[in-house]
Structure 1
């Protein structure tokens, strides 16, 4: 609007956690007879993170266990709460409506306290976009991966997207409102929005390609055209439902998707 064998929506692949990196490194370099001890030592360090003394991390350079300060965990939790509140505001008033002052009032914090977590209003907006994209992944994309490649997965992606859209008819879609706000602008916020939307459309296009390679869609079908039409259905749905208040918008979008699949289906 949140992927190869199972492609991922995230703009960039995240590196493995330090504990995994160290563990894997040790398994490769340590003789077989010591591998079990290495694994047990690492597991024990991680297990201790659940106790009252606070969480631990593995230093990749020294291979030593270090304890993460409790206040850093609290800071991360506070930032997550601020981003959650900011996302709620952004879906109602847009990204441009966000301000450090408004969030400070909502969170009952000082402006300087909110500012310290982001450093700028722009970084706050980007954090909100990332969180929105992450939730989009969790609700729309990842559940669809449980279905086999092909038309079944493509149908699941559309169905999941429709479920989310049904909620966003009342709350608003950040991808759509953000596109309107930043269509003529340049800068990191617009780039974050464009990157998120393009990542999702790339994943959708891949699902279309799988349906084509499985023989369920005609092999002459233009993958990009199908993706364009699916995206168009969602955009039209939002316009019809939110602006024109059309009660049958969801039904018509579903009918449009079914008709499109029938039109592009492989000949039997």
Structure 2
């Protein structure tokens, strides 16, 4: 091989090595940035569970994370963007803890009951921290904007999942054919709201059992008589 060819080959290898090294550094930087952003959202969610979405501030999160305001701003350009990220993270965790495990139960009433049981358990775990859906509805019920839109979108998503679970119970013949999925889902949601009020505000020790009894009464009203 000629000397010039050797030089070109060597140069290509060096440039290739530099490119791979630069790519590796960039990938690591992106991964670290994603980890930092996830940690910020986690801290913000913990804070919002205590003080509400309106209690969030870039400065407060910076103090918790040991970061400057500009460091937090590098990941979230505004307080509003941070609030929306918290709403979406809460929704992702809610789906993971409440809805996805229920899918392992057989279609129909077993799945609907698993969904309600998971929801009750999640509500009981949030007695001290609070529910972003409920506190967010109080804070943003009459305040239009992107944060309210994000809350409405996520709440509509899980309400639709409850209606589908009811519809599956109808399709399986476990509930009467004339059952209105929207009405039953509304009543199930009402039980959860009552449980949250009883447990978090009144600190009533019997709230969980009353919610279970209410659900059983609900099923008795809607269940097919021949099942």
Output the TM-score relative to the length of structure 2: 0.88
- Give, in whole Å, the separation in 2 of the partners of 1:245 and 1:178: 21
RMSD (Å) for aligned C-alpha atoms:
1.5
- Give, in whole Å, the separation in 2 of the partners of 1:131 and 1:88: 11
Q: Which residue of 1 aligns with 2:107?
A: 149
SS of match in other structure, 1:88: helix
Q: How far 1:68 moved relative to its partner?
A: 5.3
Q: Which residue of 2 aligns with 1:135?
A: 93
Structure 2: 5+ residue stretches without partners: 1-19
- Give, in whole Å, the separation in 2 of the partners of 1:144 and 1:128: 24
| Superimposed CA distance per residue, residues 153-184 of structure 1 (whole angstroms, 9 cap, x where no aligned partner) | 10110011111111011110000000000001
Q: Which residue of 2 aligns with 1:175?
A: 133
| Superimposed CA distance per residue, residues 214-240 of structure 1 (whole angstroms, 9 cap, x where no aligned partner) | 110011111111000000000011111
- Give, in whole Å, the separation in 2 of the partners of 1:199 and 1:103: 28
Contact 2:45 2:90 in 1 (8 A): yes
Q: Which residue of 2 aligns with 1:45?
A: none
| Superimposed CA distance per residue, residues 116-143 of structure 1 (whole angstroms, 9 cap, x where no aligned partner) | 1010000000000010000001100111
- Give, in whole Å, the separation in 1 of the partners of 2:181 and 2:63: 47
- Give, in whole Å, the separation in 1 of the partners of 2:161 and 2:201: 28
SS of match in other structure, 2:203: coil
Aligned length: 206
SS of match in other structure, 1:170: coil
Give the number of the structure whose alpha-carbon radius of gyration is greater: 2
- Give, in whole Å, the separation in 2 of the partners of 1:240 and 1:122: 31
Q: How far 1:69 moved relative to its partner?
A: 2.1
Contact 2:124 2:199 in 1 (8 A): no
Aligned structure 1 segments of 4 or more residues deviating by more than 4 angstroms = none
| Superimposed CA distance per residue, residues 165-207 of structure 1 (whole angstroms, 9 cap, x where no aligned partner) | 1101111000000000000100000000010001000001000
The structure in which a higher percent of residues are helix is 2
Contact 2:166 2:181 in 1 (8 A): yes
Q: Which residue of 1 aligns with 2:9?
A: none
Q: Which residue of 1 aligns with 2:49?
A: 91
- Give, in whole Å, the separation in 2 of the partners of 1:235 and 1:193: 16
Q: Which residue of 1 aligns with 2:119?
A: 161
Q: Which residue of 1 aligns with 2:143?
A: 185
Output the TM-score relative to the length of structure 1: 0.75
- Give, in whole Å, the separation in 2 of the partners of 1:198 and 1:68: 38
Q: Select which of 169, 177, 196 maps to 1:219.
A: 177
- Give, in whole Å, the separation in 1 of the partners of 2:156 and 2:108: 21
SS of match in other structure, 2:127: helix
SS of match in other structure, 2:67: coil
- Give, in whole Å, the separation in 1 of the partners of 2:26 and 2:111: 41
Q: Which residue of 1 aligns with 2:35?
A: 77
